[in-house]
Amino acid sequence: MTNYRKGNPLGTHRVVSPKGVLPQPADILDNDERIYDNEVAIDVQTLNIDSASFTEIERRAGGDVEKIKEIMMDIVEKTGKHKNPWTGSGGMLIGTVKEIGPNYKGELKVGDKIATLVSLSLTPLVIDEILEIRQEIDQVDIKGTAILFESGIYSILPDDIPQNLALSVLDVAGAPAQTAKIVKPGDTVVVLGGGGKSGMLCCVQAKKEAGINGKVICVDGFDASIERAKSVDAADEYIVGNATDAVGLFNQISELTGGALADVVINVVNIPNTEMASIMLCKDNGMVYFFSMASDFTKAALGAEGVGKDINMLVGNGYTKGHANVALQVLRENEKIRELFAKLYA
């Protein structure tokens, strides 16, 4: 029998530097493929790099696929995980369980196909080879191994949804699930980046929660994205607008809402400097949900103070109870969005 080393449920035994921190903020993790007694080893099939992270890597690589591979391999070789050094974010993965430590407390079995629901920014990872990069959907097929800690959450991949489609949706599952929690009947909701993957899921979920007396406004910077959102009836109103132009967008939303503004603003834009638009579109005592990892929370806090906005701001925690089921249920209930996502991501 293999002699397993004893591990901490939170994975702190994998932290190389700096000592005393958790795996996510750590600079370097030990990505040794030999598991500890409470860990799970996963044969990785696909990495779904989070949108802000992939966009930045792609920009630095000038769109060149080989350079994207070099950057990704370099990140993992230096840090033992895929934590983007510029955005601090990761993504998630799908793969097959290949080994389980004897003291792991969970329901997994060897051979289960799973999606990890914890960030790649805290997941020990070895990339042996990058097989394919699908730039249009931020997915990277690899040969490699990842480690899931005892505290790590996951979803067994559903039988009724193709794997890559499920991966795309589960990567942003926190967004529609949090939307379900914060949007109330009759609310006016603005979704910035509403024509993207997480944006459309949020729009559809917001429409469901706000009901017939509510209004969901989809804002995106690209005509093509707005047309895509329209094709699945994601929202009630659509605006092509620049989320980095706070004053201009404020004027557009103010006109559309008769000056009332939004009860809830959801920001899923994958570029920086969209904090002030989010804040200005929100009415006093409303809620701004910053799901995007491109958000700067110092800018948000000081910005709200600077324009005298008494609003609630929610940090985009990618986890909320039942979030995987909420996100997948959107696909199951909405044939139009399922067909579109299948075409784009499956």
pLDDT at 203 over 70: yes
The average pLDDT across 216-231 equals 97
Domains: count for the chain = 2
Do 188 and 324 belong together in one domain?
Answer: yes
Do 200 and 141 belong together in one domain?
Answer: no
Looking at residue 344, its pLDDT comes to 87
**Contact residues for 9 (Cβ-Cβ < 8 A; gap 6+):** 38, 149, 150, 151
Do 147 and 193 belong together in one domain?
Answer: no
- Look up residue 122 and give its two tokens: 């805290």
User: Does residue 100 fall inside a structural domain?
Assistant: yes
Do 152 and 216 belong together in one domain?
Answer: no
Closest to 291 (Cα-Cα) out of 276, 270, 262, 321: 270
User: Does residue 164 fall inside a structural domain?
Assistant: no
Spatial distance between the Cα atoms of 290 and 300, rounded to a whole number of angstroms: 9
pLDDT at 308 over 90: no
pLDDT at 226 over 90: yes
- As a whole number, the mean pLDDT across the chain is 94
Domain, as residue range, for 116: 12-157
User: Does residue 215 fall inside a structural domain?
Assistant: yes
**Contact residues for 18 (Cβ-Cβ < 8 A; gap 6+):** 26, 27
What does the pLDDT look like over 136-166, one tens digit per residue?
989 999 999 999 999 999 999 999 998 888 8
Looking at residue 2, its pLDDT comes to 64
